[in-house]
Amino acid sequence: MKAFLILEDGTVFTGKSVGATHDVISEIVFNTSMTGYLEVLTDPSYAGQAVVMTYPLIGNYGVCYEDMESAKAWPDGYIVREIARRPSNFRSEDSIEAFLRAQDIPGISGVDTRALTKILREKGTMNGMITTNENYDLETVLEQIKTYKVTGVVEKVTTKEVKVYKPGDLGTEAGEIQKKVAMMDFGCKNNIIRSLVKRGCEVTVYPANTKAETILAADMDGIMLTNGPGDPSECVGIIEEIKKLYQSDIPIFAICLGHQLMALANGAKTEKMKYGHRGANHPVKDLATGKVYISSQNHGYVVVDGSIEERIAETSFLNVNDGTVEGLHYLNKNIFTVQFHPEACAGPVDSDFLFDEFINMMEVAKHA
């Protein structure tokens, strides 16, 4: 069956329908990862977006459900050059095409993803529609596409109930609980939880709209603010609760959206990037040591450099490619945040030592 990708600038790509066949309008973004397509599909940070995979062959090692980063897939649509017809991997349980159908995600293959990505890089992220309707009216479709906006996605992806994970869960080894961590779930990936649990933490995952008083009353050793989708400035209520968490002396570690929300809670500004950072090979420089780490990233917004007062926080990491802020260290507070994903899976593990730093920060604070 034919499928069409229609961009808001009027560009139309023709390909083959894969996955679900219903129409979808979404924000079109691209990811440059060569592997980890299942992790991309199950990353809640992609809610409200359709993902273009720049690597030309997707699905060659199939689908292993154990590798999913959440319970379901989140992107609105999926755009690829070619879908592998015969997955080859002893762990494979399904094909990517069958997975897309089961998850009700419309996809399109046979697209010149190189040309598509060049358009998105030159003109910036834009909206688009995936449709199998060969009789679409371009003028009508473009009007619909241009009115689309990503809203309410944190509420869509967050847990609906409090959940507790202990050492031994998520495939980790059982052991004694060393620390208790409260996690505010804005769109959490499983490997963030796993990274803490395997270090001896009991992790209590709270819905994104949980009041700060509830978190503080739980007497936790530390607080984790997770990744998530959408425009951080939209999360007005959450930012107000983070302000209260900031005033406590509890150690806080924040990743991606959590990093942006903590900055906004302290008077910083965020802005939408032209086409964002989405891939598994983004270099970030640790300003304290001068070392450069390869990181996995997925974000379309960034904290504006210099927008946070110097007496409140200092920049700790910078993106080597474009100089954007990749991390903040809050002065006179047990708080540090990063824009990239130190828990990357699949992806580089260069920066997973940051979880050890968080554990150490909680230990020091406990005996202070």
With contact defined as beta carbons under 8 Å apart, do 6 and 128 qualify? yes
Q: Which of 235, 256, 277, 326 is catalytic?
A: 256
The H-assigned helical ranges of 222-336 are 236-247, 257-265
Q: Which of 259, 277, 299, 341 is catalytic?
A: 341
Annotated ligand binding at 200? The verdict is: no
> Any idea what DSSP says for residue 174?
P
Annotated ligand binding at 144? The verdict is: no
**Token pair 């530390």: residue:** 222
Count CB neighbours of 133 within 10 A.
Answer: 13
> In 3D, which of 239, 298, 292, 227 has the Cα closest to residue 268?
239
**Token pair 């009007």: residue:** 143
Annotated ligand binding at 257? The verdict is: yes
Mention every residue, 6+ apart, whose C-beta is less than 8 A from residue 309: 266, 267
With contact defined as beta carbons under 8 Å apart, do 198 and 356 qualify? no
What whole-number distance in Å separates Cα of residue 112 and Cα of residue 53? 11
Annotated ligand binding at 301? The verdict is: yes
Annotated ligand binding at 45? The verdict is: yes
What whole-number distance in Å separates Cα of residue 260 and Cα of residue 43? 18
Is 343 an active-site residue? yes
- Per DSSP (E only), the strands in the chain are 2-7, 12-19, 24-31, 49-53, 57-58, 77-79, 82-83, 106-109, 126-131, 163-165, 179-185, 201-207, 222-225, 252-255, 270-286, 292-303, 313-319, 325-330, 335-338
Mention every residue, 6+ apart, whose C-beta is less than 8 A from residue 32: 54, 55, 278, 279, 280, 281
Mention every residue, 6+ apart, whose C-beta is less than 8 A from residue 332: none
Annotated ligand binding at 260? The verdict is: yes
What whole-number distance in Å separates Cα of residue 79 and Cα of residue 60? 15
What whole-number distance in Å separates Cα of residue 88 and Cα of residue 336? 41
Annotated ligand binding at 110? The verdict is: no
Annotated ligand binding at 300? The verdict is: yes
What whole-number distance in Å separates Cα of residue 157 and Cα of residue 153? 6
Annotated binding-site residue numbers for L-glutamine: 45, 228, 230, 257, 260, 298, 300-301
Annotated binding-site residue numbers: 45, 228, 230, 257, 260, 298, 300-301
Active site residues: 256, 341, 343
